[in-house]
Structure 1
Amino acid sequence: MTRLAIIDLGSNSARLIVMHIYHNGAYNLVYHQKEPVRLSEGMSKEGWLQPPAMERAIATLKIFAHMCRLFAADQILAVATAAVRTAENGRDFLTRVQEETGIQFEVISGETEALLGYIGVINTIDIKDGLLFDLGGGSTELTLVRDRKPVQVISLPFGAVFLTERFKTEDRVTEAQLIQLRQFVLQHLDQIPWIRKLNLPLVGVGGTARNIAKMDQKRKNYPFNKLHNYRLGRLSFEDLWKTLLATTLNQRRKLPGLSAERADIIVAGSTIVKCLFDISQGTHLIISGCGVREGLFFQNYLPRQGEAEIIEDILSHSTENMLYFYKGHIDHARHVTHLATCLFDSLQAIHGLDSRMRSLLRVATQLHDIGITISYYDHPRHSAYLVENARVFGLTHREQMMAAVVAGWHNGLTKFVRNRIYGEFFDEADWQAVRKMALFLALAESLDTTQMQLIPDIAVYLSEQKATLHLLGSNPAPIERQSAERHIRWFRKEMGMDMVLE
């Protein structure tokens, strides 16, 4: 096993993640720590890192070094961004950091920072075209993505901390301050011709974007505690932005979802987002919980596995990673997936589900048994919980919950979904789709009850009154057949016809 620690020292925050890469190639996040260091505080006037800010950062990095030792990190990848990059004494500061903590930092350019953020986002969010922004304390990186490729990149020399200090927007903001702030940001954006009138989604990385999502979730009583791939419309964002403008610092500190440590810089940060919406005519905002740190990880991990830095199919990749991480029965999972998708395809004319539902079915079937790692007894329910919370990328929150319920029903419909959040996400059409997909999974699971792949394939023939499932193979497989026959009533209820096994 390889233990990889990654540190991102930004202008506002310092972050540490520890990733484990296991012998079978699976990887998993095992630790995350974030501390507000405000390294760029006071820099806007003099261009020098100030002693109090450096002391805060070094104290935090000493803790990070301790955690790296505690987790027995084999390698530490540490990068410093805008504050150190632009400071006159940035190099001297990093020399002191290495002497006192043993951590050697690399100062990365704005373009490299944008590239790493792009790698972190594009490998974890299923988006083809969009305007990515990484809004930090001292800089803002913009990347235009077309067909999943970065076609334009720029680093702007301002962020939430920088603008807050320059325009004094810590407390209540006057109309004059807001006009000056917006003019400053828009003047910079006006010089970038390729961001105008894009009509694309904005994808936000960084603390400002995450806090926007947290506040919006609280305002809407959002029942799922997950930020990555959370989406909000332009009108929702603008309503939230106007609320922030009308508050004092003390009032903002009490706003649900807003971190108290970010209450003084959120007006400047959200105004940058507002300007990006205005000039690009953004359609909506997508929040990414992954950025530079995950970009560094993928840049380091994927070549080791003989893969390119950009994963072609992030849903399949992340699902398979979860299967290997939970040490599932690989052959059984893949065979059940094959049989379930065969049923889905053969019965397309009856069930009427689209190709997206087929993808959800494949996720659920591959991960349907991972709950055994908690307990074999009632493992479908445990599988549902794990699928719901797994780092499966490429699904919306609603889709991930649908896959979770399908996995939880692979032994038949049970009542584990009562009093859960699923009902707040699903409408009746969703429930119908989930029941049909769960039926296909349950049948496929039954047809490999012994996990010996005795039924290598099935052929389905439809008539007006019944569906005949031909179980192909030389072995009679009586256990599989008997298990599958228990679902005849369920099949009749969902499909509206009888099922016959031959």
Structure 2
Amino acid sequence: MTRVAAIDCGTNSVRLLIADISGERLTDVERRMEIVRLGQDVDRTGRLAPEALERTFGAMRGYAKLIRKHAAPDGGPAGTPVGMPVRVVATSATRDAENRADFVSGVREIFGVEPEVVSGAEEAGLSFTGATRGLADVTAAEGPYLVVDIGGGSTEFVVGSAGRTAGGAGAAEGVVRGAMSVDIGCVRLTERHLGTAGDPPSREAVQAAIADIEAAMDRVETEVPVRDARTLVGLAGSVTTVAGIALGLPAYDPALIHHSRISAERVHEVSARLLRMTHAERAAIPVMHPGRVDVIGAGALILDRIVGRYGLSEVVVSEHDILDGIAWSLA
């Protein structure tokens, strides 16, 4: 058995997974998430805001304490996690930022390891591995899979079939047939179109967001065989929140959301409903995390356009994603 620590720092949230890996089984020790909005205004300024960096580093300092708590106490530099492999992966917002060196140095100080600002293709491969490893065993879902990871700054599209991971890259060996990352995340589209267009947003703002999504999917289809997929697997907070709403849950419950199947009709209904709601009405939804209230409309809209464009009957929702892919890459 190997104990590992995976940290995923995205545009909207920073997450931690400490897990024990034995053979083909991954068992959670700790799984945490905090909304830090690292990508605040990156689309407009091209830089990580000082206050966004401090929010992120604050969350990471708490994660470092948890890693030390669960690691073997066998010595090492003060403040450095010891006794388990640690990998810190940063994605869209950090890729785009002129001052990403500030982020890198801060993470190095907190965790004692060099963070990896991964490419869109690497991000897609890690997400695919995390979402599909063991998927067919529990859902009987048919491949090829289209795995869609809707993040804050970008959305990853990956088509392939499940298999074992291939070393540190995190992609499944001989499995991924095509992958692409495009800049249509829920935070980015909210800042571009929906966030300043009324409450709820105007029809014109929604149509502008749709145009961005459709243009991005046009690019995806030139590189990724999305129409070959037989099962859509949806990842990340926008998708799991839509699933919780569609299921009518009285509170967010990962066990009920994981591997749930949400029909295309329900996805469309939930997306349309969210875009008609005010901020206060969205905040009152039982499964809604406070950090997603202002961006969930854009995230749901992205999912709805993907389902509709490719004629898919449903989305299989996964609570396992890039974070689990990072952990598998350390095994």
TM range (shorter): 0.7 to 0.9
Correspondence for 2:177 among 129, 134, 151: 151
1:164 paired residue number = 190
2:35 paired residue number = 36
Correspondence for 1:270 among 295, 300, 306: 300
TM-score by length of 1: 0.56
CA contact (8 A) 2:144 2:229 kept: no
The separation in 1 between residues aligned to 2:124 and 2:26, in whole angstroms, is 24
1:184 deviates by 1.3
1:229 paired residue number = 259
1:223 deviates by 10
1:71 paired residue number = 70
Correspondence for 1:135 among 129, 146, 150: 150
SS in 2 for 1:290: coil
SS in 1 for 2:188: helix
Q: CA RMSD in A?
A: 2.5
Q: For residues 236 and 248 of structure 1, do their structure 2 counterparts lie closer, same or farther at Cα, with a shift above 3 Å needed? A: same
Q: Deviations over 1:360-396 (max 9, x none)?
A: xxxxxxxxxxxxxxxxxxxxxxxxxxxxxxxxxxxxx
Correspondence for 1:107 among 117, 121, 124: 117
2:92 paired residue number = 82
Q: For residues 4 and 233 of structure 1, do their structure 2 counterparts lie closer, same or farther at Cα, with a shift above 3 Å needed? A: same
Q: Deviations over 1:390-440 (max 9, x none)?
A: xxxxxxxxxxxxxxxxxxxxxxxxxxxxxxxxxxxxxxxxxxxxxxxxxxx
Q: Which has the higher contact order (CA 8 A, sep 6+)?
A: 2
Q: For residues 183 and 118 of structure 1, do their structure 2 counterparts lie closer, same or farther at Cα, with a shift above 3 Å needed? A: same
CA contact (8 A) 2:15 2:32 kept: yes
CA contact (8 A) 2:157 2:179 kept: yes
The separation in 2 between residues aligned to 1:202 and 1:253, in whole angstroms, is 28
Correspondence for 1:186 among 184, 206, 214: 214
The separation in 1 between residues aligned to 2:251 and 2:26, in whole angstroms, is 33
2:52 paired residue number = 53
CA contact (8 A) 1:130 1:146 kept: yes
The separation in 2 between residues aligned to 1:58 and 1:3, in whole angstroms, is 23
Q: For residues 250 and 146 of structure 1, do their structure 2 counterparts lie closer, same or farther at Cα, with a shift above 3 Å needed? A: same
1:4 paired residue number = 4
Correspondence for 1:121 among 113, 131, 141: 131
1:211 paired residue number = 241
The separation in 2 between residues aligned to 1:277 and 1:175, in whole angstroms, is 21
2:318 paired residue number = 288
The separation in 1 between residues aligned to 2:298 and 2:185, in whole angstroms, is 8
CA contact (8 A) 1:125 1:288 kept: no
1:399 paired residue number = none
Q: Deviations over 1:56-93 (max 9, x none)?
A: 00111111111111111422111111111111111232
2:291 paired residue number = 261
SS in 1 for 2:248: helix
Larger mean CA deviation between 143-152 and 191-200 belongs to 191-200
1:221 deviates by 10
Where do residues 331-480 of structure 1 align in structure 2 (5 Å cutoff)?
none
Equivalent position amino acid for 1:169 in 2: G
1:98 paired residue number = 108
1:310 paired residue number = none
SS in 2 for 1:84: helix
1:157 deviates by 1.9
Equivalent position amino acid for 1:183 in 2: A
Q: Deviations over 1:279-308 (max 9, x none)?
A: 21122111011111211222332xxxxxxx
1:224 deviates by 9.3
Q: For residues 94 and 71 of structure 1, do their structure 2 counterparts lie closer, same or farther at Cα, with a shift above 3 Å needed? A: same
The separation in 2 between residues aligned to 1:173 and 1:104, in whole angstroms, is 41
CA contact (8 A) 2:42 2:96 kept: no
The separation in 1 between residues aligned to 2:254 and 2:95, in whole angstroms, is 38
Q: Deviations over 1:287-333 (max 9, x none)?
A: 011111211222332xxxxxxxxxxxxxxxxxxxxxxxxxxxxxxxx
SS in 2 for 1:7: strand
The separation in 1 between residues aligned to 2:21 and 2:220, in whole angstroms, is 40
Task: State the structure with more CA Rg.
Answer: 1
Q: For residues 284 and 195 of structure 1, do their structure 2 counterparts lie closer, same or farther at Cα, with a shift above 3 Å needed? A: farther
SS in 2 for 1:257: coil
CA contact (8 A) 2:132 2:162 kept: no
1:145 deviates by 2.4
TM-score by length of 2: 0.84
1:241 deviates by 1.1
Q: For residues 209 and 222 of structure 1, do their structure 2 counterparts lie closer, same or farther at Cα, with a shift above 3 Å needed? A: closer
Q: For residues 299 and 196 of structure 1, do their structure 2 counterparts lie closer, same or farther at Cα, with a shift above 3 Å needed? A: closer
CA contact (8 A) 1:195 1:279 kept: no
1:27 deviates by 4.8
Equivalent position amino acid for 2:14 in 1: A
1:7 deviates by 0.6
Q: For residues 32 and 299 of structure 1, do their structure 2 counterparts lie closer, same or farther at Cα, with a shift above 3 Å needed? A: same
Equivalent position amino acid for 2:46 in 1: G
